[in-house]
């Protein structure tokens, strides 16, 4: 598949959910935004709660970094957290995670980029497990309302899975030496995740569940602002379902997939009108995406020198990685030569 074909495929994947959501919104009545004191106070409370959740996520990352041996200043950890969310909101493929990796790598030269990226991977694992627990315990009713896949779709999925397994087996046999090298180079990235299999990991998982409860309160407060009353269980169900849907490849800011998940989940747990759901979606997007994107950009420019510094750090990381690969390749060549000489 050529680069142009890949871009076209990605564009189609991004465009379909966006078109569907825009079409749905165009069929609804015009949204109404809160103008009374109660609604405005609910929005202010939602913003404050999301700020608390962001600080808790920064503290969780700091503890993961400390356990992984990354000597990072707490100020950098807290500053890079909104920068990461800003990057995820405006860049494709969760570009904010790479922003955090490169910028922290420049501030913590004793740590490798792979280890730092591994701490972010550990964060994602904690979130996935916490959301999975919430989905199973509280949001199973949402999952039951999803349309059952057709037999043809299940058969096609099975065929694709078998083909992938065959391709993986062939790759393992043909490129096993390269695979071993890749796995060896990934060890620093996987180490922070392996460290979660301990009491330390259980503590962080409990913290992750608390973070998602606080974020569920954000969803509840925004609902109150537009007249949609959600209980804690409803808020947790909507949070878990929408953030699980955000794992699906989408345009920057999860445009399309996130919106469709919010619409589906809120309709499933409430009897709100379509106009109210549209108002809810607009305000929720504002609370969750706009302020943190602005804060992240301001911190990026003021503390880290803007995108030019990121590009320089990324280029330095590429040079470092190339040198590591060349050194590893030279070591493998020397090992093969010694083996051949010994055999002879």
pLDDT digits (tens, 9 = 90+) for 231-249: 988 999 899 989 887 776 6
Residue whose C-alpha is closest to residue 285's, from 79, 47, 48, 70: 47
Q: Read out DSSP for 161-173?
A: HHHHHHHHHHHHH
Contact between 43 and 283 under an 8 Å Cβ cutoff? The reply is: yes
Other C-beta atoms lying within 10 Å of the C-beta of residue 135 = 19
Q: Where are the domains of the chain?
A: 38-146+183-305, 309-344
Three-point CA angle 31, 230, 50, nearest 5°: 80
Handedness of CA 243, 249, 255, 257 (dihedral sign): negative
Q: Which of 6-10, 17-21, 302-306 has the lowest mean pLDDT?
A: 6-10
Percent of the chain, pLDDT > 90?
41
Task: Quote the CA–CA distance of 251 and 123 in Å, as a whole number.
Answer: 22
CA 67 to CA 11: how far, in whole Å?
A: 39
Handedness of CA 307, 313, 317, 320 (dihedral sign): positive
The arithmetic mean of pLDDT across residues 25-31, rounded, is 64
DSSP state of 35: -
Question: pTM for the full model?
Answer: 0.76
CA atoms of 299 and 283, how far apart (whole Å): 24
Asked whether the beta carbons of 243 and 139 are under 8 A apart, the reply is no
Token readout for 151 is: 């037999």
Q: pLDDT for 92-132, tens place per residue?
A: 777 889 899 989 988 888 888 889 999 999 999 999 999 98
Nearest to 206 by CA among 122, 126, 123, 135: 126
Q: H or E stretch including 28?
A: none
Hey, what are 208's tokens?
């992750």
pLDDT tens for residues 264-281? Answer: 899 888 999 888 998 999
What angle do helix axes 257-269 and 3-26 make, rounded to 10 degrees? Answer: 30
Measured CA to CA, the distance from residue 117 to residue 190 in angstroms comes to 9
DSSP line for 82-144: HHHHHHHHHSSTTHHHHHHHHHHHHH-TTS-HHHHHHHHHHHHHHHHHHHHHHHHHH-HHHHH
Q: How confident is the model at residue 159 (pLDDT cuts 50, 70, 90)?
A: confident
Provide the token pair at 299.
Answer: 């911190």
Contact 320, 113 (CB under 8 A): yes
Mean pLDDT of 49-64: 97
For the chain, give the longest Cα–Cα distance: 88
Residues 41 and 288: beta-carbon distance below 8 Å: no
């Amino acid at each position: 598949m050529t680069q142009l074909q890949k871009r076209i495929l990605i564009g189609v994947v991004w465009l379909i959910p966006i078109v569907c959501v825009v079409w749905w919104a165009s069929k609804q009545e015009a949204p109404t935004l809160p103008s009374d004191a109660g609604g405005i106070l609910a929005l202010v409370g939602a913003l404050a709660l999301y700020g608390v959740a962001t600080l808790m996520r920064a503290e969780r990352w700091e503890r993961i970094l400390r356990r992984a041996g990354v000597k990072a200043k707490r100020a950098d950890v807290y500053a890079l957290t909104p920068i990461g969310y800003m990057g995820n909101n405006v860049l494709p493929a969760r570009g904010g995670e790479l922003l955090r990796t490169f910028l922290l790598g420049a501030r913590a030269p004793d740590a490798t980029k792979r280890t730092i990226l591994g701490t972010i991977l550990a964060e994602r694992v904690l979130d996935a497990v916490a959301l999975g627990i919430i989905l199973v315990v509280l949001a199973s009713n949402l999952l039951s309302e999803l349309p059952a896949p057709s037999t043809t779709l299940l058969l096609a999925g099975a065929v694709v899975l078998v083909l992938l397994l065959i391709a993986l087996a062939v790759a393992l046999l043909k490129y096993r030496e390269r695979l071993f090298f890749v796995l060896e180079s990934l060890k620093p990235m996987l180490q922070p995740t392996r460290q979660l299999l301990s009491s330390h990991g259980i503590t962080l998982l409990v913290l992750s569940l608390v973070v998602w409860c606080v974020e569920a309160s954000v969803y509840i407060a925004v609902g109150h602002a537009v007249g949609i009353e959600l209980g804690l269980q409803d808020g947790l169900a909507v949070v878990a379902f929408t953030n699980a849907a955000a794992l699906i490849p989408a345009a920057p800011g999860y445009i399309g997939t996130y919106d469709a998940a919010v619409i589906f989940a809120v309709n499933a747990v409430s009897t709100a009108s379509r106009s109210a759901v549209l108002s809810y979606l607009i305000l929720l997007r504002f609370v969750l995406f706009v302020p943190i994107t602005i804060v992240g950009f301001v911190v990026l420019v003021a503390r880290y020198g803007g995108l030019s510094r990121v590009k320089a750090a990324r280029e330095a990381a590429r040079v470092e990685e190339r040198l590591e690969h060349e050194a590893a390749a030279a070591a493998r060549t020397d090992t093969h030569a010694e083996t051949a000489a010994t055999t002879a």
